Amino acid sequence: MVTIRDVRVIVTSPSCPLVVVKLETSEPGLFGLGCATFSWRYVAIQAAVESYLKPFLVGRDVARIEEHFQSMMVNGYWRNGPILNNAISGVDMALWDIKGKMAGMPLYDLLGGKCREAAQIYQGVGGADDKQLADNVSTLIERGIHYFRLGGHEVGRKQQPPDGALPGVPFHPRQSTRGTFKALEHLRDQFGDDIELIHDVHERLTPAQAVEFAKDVEQFRLFFLEDLLAPEDIEWFANVRAVCATPLAMGELFCNPREWTPLIAGRLIDFMRMHVSQMGGVTPARKAAILGECHGVQTAWHGPGDVSPVGHAAQLHLDLVSPNFGIQEFHGISDQIREIFPGTPEERKGYLYPNDKPGIGIDIDEAAAAKYPPKPEVPGWFELRLPDGSIQRP
Ligand code: MG
């Protein structure tokens, strides 16, 4: 029996803190890596893994992934929170990595084998004005990108906050929806139906504004509208469905199966886009993907910069084996990160390709990782403020 010998957390911050669990086994040289990246609370993840999960896991059989997932989830009694889920994900992915290495198979083979060669990606695009936005889209088209996600594009006269208002990043919901409407209109005028358009609302509207906005942008035939509602307001999806056919994507903030299960089973969204480490790893993500397959809901896993290459690769394996894969968010990976993580997936002509090494296929150069020590910080964009100076979801 191969057992768990050590569980360590490695944090490296070439751009933002990336958190990876390294799980070593009783077999010399056999180890696994898992993504536990919750960049903005990485100290807590490190403590959860090394102070609580490690003593619980050392000496146990590496083969029993489901057993370990279930027991880690209830071992602290309270569960389904972002700290613990990310910590569990680090261990869960590392165990899948080890299982693949022991079998001599890439994770995609272990999960049933590829049903596509690569995952089509979408990228974020912006611009100070319509012309720059269209120019940036043209540049990406030349690189082979076909799917584009717009963020906010505010238009209109800036309103002064009240005297004494606290500092922050100003955000005006109505100016943002009007600006986005104009940007979408411009891109459809310029590029016709040859490109796919996505917009991320980032849960910044009230539910009523969200219903109105989804209806207004229906004419632009979006690929999907992302995070139209906050997790606290998901019952409103039924109202959106009742008034328009705009495809809906949701999930990056979810950490409890009770959040995604009703939306998938009720066919209230079209794309699930959970953050795989926030769910708890490959084990729960695979189950959610299959639930989606049974209900006609596609996958579009969350793929921002604050996912480690181990996390990107793990979700890419899921993309390749899931018949209901929809699209993969991916914004490129820097040379520094590639140096730290040999084996990082390659982007070519709008597709993301894995390597064919056993397991998840990513290694870590710990000396290179140590060149970028993290420092605790809270990013400024978290302090978004409405015109009256009150706090808004970032
Ligand atoms: Mg998003």
pLDDT tens digits, residue range 240-290? Answer: 999 999 999 999 999 999 999 999 999 999 999 999 999 999 999 999 999
Residue pLDDT, tens place only, 50-96: 999 999 999 999 999 999 999 999 999 999 999 999 999 999 999 99
Q: Is residue 66 part of a domain?
A: yes
Residues ≥6 apart with Cβ < 8 Å to 252: 227, 273, 274, 275, 278, 302
Count of domains in the chain?
2
Given a contact cutoff of 8 angstroms between Cβ atoms, the answer to whether 173 and 204 are in contact is yes
Residue 173: inside a domain, yes or no? yes
Tokens of 50: 């090394």
Q: Note whether 123 and 256 are same-domain residues.
A: yes
Ligand 1 centroid–CA 283 distance in Å is 22
Does any domain span residue 387? no
In a structure prediction context, what are the per-residue pLDDT tens digits for the chain, which is 394 residues long? Answer: 999 999 999 999 999 999 999 999 999 999 999 999 999 999 999 999 999 999 999 999 999 999 999 999 999 999 999 999 999 999 999 999 999 999 999 999 999 999 999 999 999 999 999 999 999 999 999 999 999 999 877 888 888 999 999 999 999 999 999 999 999 999 999 999 999 999 999 999 999 999 999 999 999 999 999 999 999 999 999 999 999 999 999 999 999 999 999 999 999 999 999 999 999 999 999 999 999 999 999 999 999 999 999 999 999 999 999 999 999 999 999 999 999 999 999 999 999 999 999 999 999 999 999 999 998 777 777 899 999 999 999 9
The answer to whether residues 120 and 174 belong to one domain is: yes
Domain that holds residue 25: 4-105
Residue 122 near residue 148, CB atoms below 8 Å: yes
* Strand residues in 90-151 grouped as ranges (E): 119-125, 147-150
Cβ–Cβ under 8 Å, residues 374 and 42: yes
Strands (E), the chain: 4-12, 18-25, 31-35, 119-125, 147-150, 169-170, 196-200, 224-226, 248-250, 271-272, 298-299, 328-329, 346-348, 351-353, 384-385, 391-392
Residue from 135, 83, 102, 81 nearest 32 by CA: 102
| Ligand 1 centroid, distance to 252 Cα (angstroms) | 7
**Could you tell me if 174 and 214 lie in one domain?**
yes
- Retrieve residue 375's tokens: 């420092």
Asked if residue 33 belongs to a domain, the reply is yes
Quote the CA–CA distance of 317 and 63 in Å, as a whole number: 19
Q: Is the pTM of this model over 0.95?
A: yes
Using an 8 Å Cβ cutoff, are 110 and 46 in contact?
no
Inter-residue contact 317 to 100 (CB < 8 Å): no
How far is the centre of ligand 1, averaged over its atoms, from the C-alpha of 257 (Å)? Answer: 19
Same domain, 202 and 282: yes
**Ligand 1 centroid from CA 226, angstroms:** 6
CATH no. for residue 206? Answer: 3.20.20.120
CA-nearest of 286, 253, 315, 333 to 15 is 333
Say yes or no: 306 and 226 in one domain: yes
85 within 8 A of 19, measured Cβ to Cβ: no
Q: Are residues 241 and 307 in the same domain?
A: yes
Largest CA distance in the chain: 68
Are residues 233 and 91 located together in one domain of the fold?
no
Q: Burial of 105 by CB count in 10 Å (0-12 exposed, 13-18 middle, 19+ buried)?
A: middle
388 part of a folded domain: no
Q: Does one domain contain both 93 and 117?
A: no
My answer on whether 125 and 255 are in the same domain is yes
Q: How far is the C-alpha of 261 from the C-alpha of 9, rounded, in Å?
A: 31
Report how far ligand 1's centroid is from the alpha carbon of 149 (Å): 9
Instruction: Assess whether 115 and 167 both reside in one domain.
Output: yes
Give the amino acid at 170. P
The whole-number pLDDT of residue 381 equals 77
Q: Do 276 and 288 meet the contact criterion of CB atoms below 8 Å apart?
A: no
Task: Quote the ligand 1 centre to 306 CA distance (angstroms).
Answer: 12
CA of 125 to the centre of ligand 1 (A): 13
**Does 227 map to a domain?**
yes
Which pLDDT belongs to residue 245? 98
Cα angle value 198/182/239 (rounded, 5°): 55
Q: What spacing in Å lies between the alpha carbon of 328 and ligand 1's midpoint?
A: 12
Q: How far is the CA of 63 from the centre of ligand 1 (A)?
A: 35
249 in any annotated domain: yes
